[in-house]
Chain A
Amino acid sequence: NAGVTQTPKFRVLKTGQSMTLLCAQDMNHEYMYWYRQDPGMGLRLIHYSVGEGTTAKGEVPDGYNVSRLKKQNFLLGLESAAPSQTSVYFCASSLGSPGFGQYFGPGTRLTVT
């Protein structure tokens, strides 16, 4: 049981390039989330999904898109990377409502130059 996994773990992009971060969970969780973590800011929610085929915006959605085509996967896309998107990105999942507690992946460190 791998829990929540994220691919890749590190990435360096040039401004304007695009990329997709993949999150996978094998716990049959309904809810999945993408957060970004910046120094002194805690974790801020980018987008989330309450089930396969659904997505919703979080606190900081601009510049990102997501898709949840399969229940176990949640993809985060950057269409045109900017230096302001340099951050550590965390994926999380929860069985149902967040009251059950969210389980996190190991994070992806993204640097945009």
Chain B
Amino acid sequence: AQTVTQSQPEMSVQEAETVTLSCTYDTSESDYYLFWYKQPPSRQMILVIRQEAYKQQNATENRFSVNFQKAAKSFSLKISDSQLGDAAMYFCAYPGSGNTPLVFGKGTRLSVIA
């Protein structure tokens, strides 16, 4: 079975600082995608960033970037210049092989301190 592990149930960061959320996964595939989703208090799941495993370059979306270490099966999310609106649950997700649906980690709750 595919597994996705987020080892940090909770984290906090000062406003304007940088924080990194960790994610590891288990796969025997060589070509796949990885995702980070944000769930604010509104409950809506929002796609933050996507990484394609065959690309060497780490994905970046504005203040959000990933550190993708394929050999280590690690996919961490870095949030730069943290803002109060970044406070949310963050989920790492992986679709496994072929057309299987996303498997989610248990999430990391991020608090942003003003």
Q: Which residues of A contact B (CB under 8 A)?
A: 31, 33, 35, 40-45, 48, 50, 58, 88, 90, 92, 97-99, 101-104, 106-107
Contact = CB atoms under 8 A, between A and B. Distances in A.
Contacts, number: 57
A41 B106 contact: yes
B107 A42 contact: yes
Contacts of A102: 47, 101-102
A5 B98 CA distance: 27
Contacts of A101: 33, 35, 47, 50
Interface of B: 9, 32-33, 35, 37, 42-47, 50, 52, 91, 95, 98-107
A99 B106 contact: no
Contacts of A92: 45
Contacts of A103: 47
Contacts of B43: 88, 106-107
B106 A40 contact: yes
Determine which residue in B9, B45, B46, B98 has the highest number of CB atoms from chain A within 10 A of its CB, and name it. B45
A30 to B, nearest CB: 10
A55 B67 CA distance: 35
**Lowest 8 CB-CB distances: which A-B pairs, in order?**
A98-B95, A104-B45, A99-B33, A42-B106, A42-B104, A43-B104, A97-B99, A107-B43
